[in-house]
Structure 1
C-alpha cells in the first residue's frame, strides 16, 4: 500500500476552506496518513505554493515527526507539540501560515507534501528555513505523498 496523505476537511484538488487560509482563521488543516513504508524512522511535512509570482513559496515545514504518528490534528503548529520541530516559513514564522495569494492572480495550488524518512531526525536548525528542511528531507526520503488544495483571492 503506498503512502497516502488525506484530510477530513480538504479533498484532493478542491478549494481550501477559508478557515485554513491566512485571511481566515489561519488554522492548519488536520492531516492523516496511511501506508507507512517499512524502515520509516521519521516524517517531514511541507506546505508549498509553486504558483507564487516569485517562485515556490513555503507556508510550513514540520520535521522530526515520530514514525508512530499517523496524522496531525488541526493547528498542530499552535499546540507546540514538543516532539516536533518547526522551520521558518517564507513569511518568517516557525508555524503554518495559510494561503494568501495575490488578489487577481488566479488559482494557486497548495501542495501538502509528506515524506517518510530513513533517519530518526534531521539535524538542521529551524532558522535554516522550510526550503532547506525540505531539501535535506529529500536526501533521506523513502516515499512521498501529497495532497493538493486550491485557493484564489
Structure 2
C-alpha cells in the first residue's frame, strides 16, 4: 500500500519557515510567495485534490486560513513556487483559490503577532472523490473545508513553524 505524502523542497516538516514566505502587509515584509509543494501516493479513485494552509495558533478564536485551493486536477502532483499568486495564473487549469482570512484569493503568507511564540502552519493536501467542489467562487474557507472534508478519500499534511 502506498502512503499518501505531502512535502516541500522549500519547507521541511518540523522546520522554521523562511522569512521570504511571510506576508507583505500588516507590519510584515516578506515576499508573500507560496512554496513549492509536492504530493504522491494518492489513493485509487482520486478524482481531484484540494490544498490548504492553516494556522491554528492565530489569536482569532478560530485559527487563520492562509491559503485554500480547490478543484486541482487528479493528474497534478504538486504546485510550483508562487502558485498562490493573485489571479491564479500559476495554478493548473480549472483550479480555484478560495478567499483566505486576509480577504484575498491568493496565498497569504505568515504574519504572526510580534512576540508570540512561533505559530504552527499546517500544510494539507486532500485526495478527493470528486473533480470539483460545489461551492461558489466567493465561498468562505470554512464552507470550502466542509465540502472538501465531505469528499476526502485521504489527506497528507506536514507542519512547520514561524514567529517574529
**TM bucket by the smaller chain?**
over 0.9
- Is 1:45–2:51 an aligned residue pair? yes
Tell me the CA shift for residue 131 of structure 1. 2.2
Tell me the CA shift for residue 48 of structure 1. 0.5
Number of matched pairs: 153
**TM-score, with structure 2 as normaliser:** 0.90
- Is 1:21–2:22 an aligned residue pair? yes
On the 8 A contact 1:124/1:133 being kept in 2, the answer is yes
- Partners of 1:150 and 1:56 in 2: how far apart? 14
SS at match of 2:138: helix
Instruction: Write out the 4+ residue segments of structure 1 that deviate beyond 3 Å after TM superposition.
Output: none
Query: Which residue matches 2:26?
Result: none
Tell me the CA shift for residue 126 of structure 1. 2.5
- Partners of 1:57 and 1:126 in 2: how far apart? 19
- Partners of 2:4 and 2:64 in 1: how far apart? 24
- Is 1:10–2:11 an aligned residue pair? yes
Which stretches in structure 1 are left out of the alignment for 5+ residues?
Answer: none
Tell me the CA shift for residue 90 of structure 1. 0.4
**TM-score, with structure 1 as normaliser:** 0.96
On the 8 A contact 1:46/1:130 being kept in 2, the answer is no
1:2-151 alignment to 2 at 5 Å?
2-22=3-23, 23-54=29-60, 55-78=62-85, 79-80=88-89, 81=91, 82-151=93-162
- Partners of 1:12 and 1:27 in 2: how far apart? 18
Alignment RMSD: 1.0
Higher helix share: 1
